[in-house]
Amino acid sequence: MADASEGRPRRLPRVTHPLIGTGPALIPDPAERSALARRLAARTGELTSMIVAAMESSHPWFLRLGAEERSWVTLVARAGIDNFITWFGDNSSMSGDPGLLFNVAPRVLTRKISLHQTVDLVRTTIDVVAQQVGELVPPRNQQALEIAILHFSRDVAFAAAEVYARAAELRGGWDERMEALIVDAVVRGEADEMVLSRASALGWLDRGQVSVAVGPAPAQPDLDALRHDAETQDLGILASVQGGRLVVIVSGRQLTEENAVVGALTSLADHFGPGTIVVGPLVADLIAATGSARAAHSAARTAHAWPASPRVVASRALLPERAIAGDDEARRALVEEIYRPLSRATELMRTCVSYLDHGCSVETTARALFVHPNTVRYRIRRIAELSGYSPAQPRQAYVLHLAITLGRLSEDEPAHHFDRDAPGRAASPGHTDAP
C-alpha cells in the first residue's frame, strides 16, 4: 500500500456541487446528516471487529498472513469506515477522500496482499456494513445510507486500482534496481550489513536458512509473478536476471535441508527458461549466501555435461562435473567428504575399489577378495552409509570413482595435498597401519 511519503495516490477529482450518492445529495439537512455520522462513528470499533471476523471466516489467505500484515489490513478496514463517515457527513472535507484510506498501511503491503485480495477486503467490508444498516440508522435513512455505501465503495475500488498500478510502477523502477544490486552483491561475494539493510527495506525477512538458485532466464521474465508464487508458499525471495541466467535467493522456515530447497524450486520452475536449474547449498543467512551462489554458478556452468540430470538439481549432485571443470571447492569436497572417510576404513575402501574395477559385479568382486558375496553386499551398504554414495548406483559409482581418483592424486602431491593434518605423505588406499 502507498504511504504518505511515497507512492501517494492522487486524490479523486472534487466538484463544488453535491454528486448523486454523496451525503449532501441524499440527506440535504446538515444537522440530520451530522447526527447520522455521529451514530455511525459510535459503532466504528464494533464494525471493524465484525469485518475482521468475516475476513477470517471467508478468506483463507487472511489467516495465512503474519500478525503484522493482519494488523495492517485491520487498519485499512478501520480507515475505510472512518473515511466513509467523514465523506458521508461532510462532502467538502478532503479527509473524506476514498483514495486516502490506503495511506495508513506501508507500501510493502502491496507485495504481501494482491489486488484480488484487496478487492476481497473491500467487498467484505461493504457486505458487513450493509448487513448492519438496519441497526445503524433509522428506517427512513436506510436507503440513503445503502446508496452512499455503494458510491463510496466504487471510489475505493478505483483508488485501490490506482495504488496497485503505482506500486507496480515503483516496483518496476527503483525496487527492481535495488533488488538487482543486492543479488549482484551476493553473487560477487560483496554481501555485508549494508546489503542486508537494503534487502530489509525491500521487505526481505529473516525466515531461516538461505539458498541461491541459478537457472536459464525465460524469454520474458515475470519476476512479480515469481515473487507472488513464492509468497503463497511462505518463501522470501530476491530475484534478478544476470547474463541470461535467472538468479533467485530463497529463504523459508521450511527449508531445513537440501531436498526441501529442491522441492521449493521445483514448484517455481515454470518461472525459469528451459534447461537445468541448480540449487546451491543452504547457508545461515543472506550475508553467507555468497558461498551458495558460488556453488550454484559453478554447477550451472557444467550442468550440460550431465544431460540426464533432473530439471532442478542440487549443486552437490554435480560435484564430479565441477571438479573436472577445475572447481577446487568441488575437488576438496570429493576428497575430504568421500575419499578420506573411506581411506580410514581399509576393508571398505578395498571392496569399493575392487567392486568398481570389476564392473560392479558382486560375484567377481567376492572372488577377487576371497570373501562371500554377502560380505560384499554388506560392505556396499556400509560404503553408502559412510560416504553417502552407493557404488551399486551408476551415477553414485561415478562420483565414488572420481573421488577415489582425486584422493589418490592428492596423496601424490606432498606440497599441495588436501590432508593438512598429516606431516608427510598419507597411506595408500589399500594400506592401514596395524594397531
The ranges assigned to domains in the chain are 23-171, 207-320, 328-411
CA distance linking residue 11 with residue 274, whole number of Å: 45
Strand partners for 425? none
- What global pTM score does this model have? 0.58
Q: In what order do the strands lie in the sheet with 245-251?
A: 236-242, 245-251, 210-216, 277-279, 312-314
10-residue mean pLDDT series, the chain (435 residues) = 44 43 61 75 82 85 81 79 74 52 60 73 79 73 75 73 67 73 90 84 82 95 90 91 93 92 95 96 92 95 95 96 95 96 95 95 96 96 95 96 94 51 39 35
Helix residue ranges per DSSP H, 188-233: 193-201, 223-232
Class of domain 328-411: mainly alpha
Q: Is the fold of 207-320 the same as that of 328-411?
A: no
Burial per residue of 403-429, b for 16 or more beta-carbon CB atoms within 10 angstroms, e otherwise: bbebbeebbeeeeebbbeeeeeebeeb
Considering only CA atoms, which of 219, 422, 213 is closest in space to residue 312?
213
Residue 339 neighbours by CB distance under 10 Å: 25
Q: What pLDDT, on the 0 to 100 scale, is given for residue 51?
A: 84
- Per the structure block, which three cell numbers stand in for 40? 455511525
Q: What pLDDT, on the 0 to 100 scale, is given for residue 14?
A: 43
Q: Indicate left, alpha or beta for 109 from its phi (over 0: left) and psi (-120 to 50: alpha).
A: alpha
DSSP secondary structure code for residue 13 in this structure: P
> What are the CA-CA distances from residue 380 to residues 32, 96, 349 (Å)?
89, 76, 10
Strands 277-279 and 312-314: parallel
Which fold is adopted by the domain 207-320?
A: Alpha-Beta Plaits (3.30.70)
